[in-house]
Structure 1
Amino acid sequence: MGFPSPASDYVESRIDLNKVCSFGGPSVRIFTAEHYHGEHINSGTMLLVDSAIKPVDGHILLIQIDGKHEVYRLVTIVRSGLESLIDKDDFIAFGDEFLDDGIVVEGVVTFIINDAGNQVFDDTPCI
């Protein structure tokens, strides 16, 4: 027989994105961005969106504005509304109740998955 390897305590399993990103539930889906949305969300970026999470201040939301998908940040402190990730002046205000038929909240963005090979998400170049 022989002795077990002393390194066997350090053997790690492969990365399972189902476990890391919680793909499991029926309320979770993947959305692929079609254009730049800000905050490192470029064309081709995959967003993991969960429609079962109740949005709170600071959450990034996938919404539909007149049938077109956009990504906004929910703001509830100081002012209430949806703030664009690109331009802070692009703001959709709402009061205690959100009653806009042209806007549909698809869900909360839980993970942003970028292709590191294209390097377009790196906006802090090293010199």
Structure 2
Amino acid sequence: MKIQTIHKGKNLDIFSLDISIKQPLSYFEGGIKAGFPSPASDFPAERIDLNEELIRDPETTFLARVNGDSMKDIGIFDGDLMIIDKALEPHNGNIAVCYIDGEFTLKRLKVIQEKGKVKEIILLPENKDYNPIYVTPDNDFIIWGILTYNIIKFI
């Protein structure tokens, strides 16, 4: 998979994808136990391509790198690599990449409806050190995409 930077910002860096190159990786179908160890039967492995596994629509899917810690309480950390799908319809509770007043940000959506219409949108951080962002008609605002996967680097 080749990536190309399309936006560098203080909250998120966004990249486009080229998934035309296949890169099958070894995959252990039976899973790896996180409890008590079990005997491995000669380490049998299949091969899968993460592009096929993680990307529903290459034309609407982008990568983004997290800058900051406003979502750390749900396990999204500074430097994580996220997979974002722009074609998914946003729903209350989704984690979304939003564009507000010239900046991208990652927040949980709180959508308040009244009589089937959106009354209010609040962008909720997942870190008590940050305040919610209340979207008003005066804001330049769009929901740019929905988080589908977050890739955490442990080493």
How high is the TM-score relative to the length of structure 2? 0.56
1:107 counterpart (145, 149, 154): 145
Tell me which residue corresponds to 1:58. 93
Q: Which runs of 5+ in 2 are unaligned?
A: 1-42, 114-119
Counterparts of residues 17-96 of structure 1 (less than 5 Å): 17-22=50-55, 24-38=57-71, 39-76=74-111, 80-87=121-128, 90-93=131-134
* Aligned-partner Cα distance in 1 for 2:80–2:111: 27
* Aligned-partner Cα distance in 2 for 1:89–1:42: 14
Checking the alignment, whether the CA contact within 8 Å between 2:70 and 2:130 is kept in structure 1 is no
Say how many residue pairs are matched. 105
SS of corresponding position for 2:124: strand
- Between the aligned residues of both structures, percent identity stands at 23
Checking the alignment, whether the CA contact within 8 Å between 1:37 and 1:70 is kept in structure 2 is no
* Aligned-partner Cα distance in 2 for 1:43–1:57: 24
Checking the alignment, whether the CA contact within 8 Å between 2:90 and 2:143 is kept in structure 1 is no
Q: Mean alpha-carbon deviation: is it higher for 15-24 or for 38-47?
A: 15-24
SS of corresponding position for 1:15: strand
Indicate the structure whose relative CO is greater, using CA pairs within 8 Å and at least 6 residues apart.
1
**1:26: how far off?**
0.4
Checking the alignment, whether the CA contact within 8 Å between 1:61 and 1:109 is kept in structure 2 is yes
Q: Which has the higher strand share?
A: 2
* Aligned-partner Cα distance in 1 for 2:130–2:81: 26
**1:13: how far off?**
1.9
**1:108: how far off?**
0.3
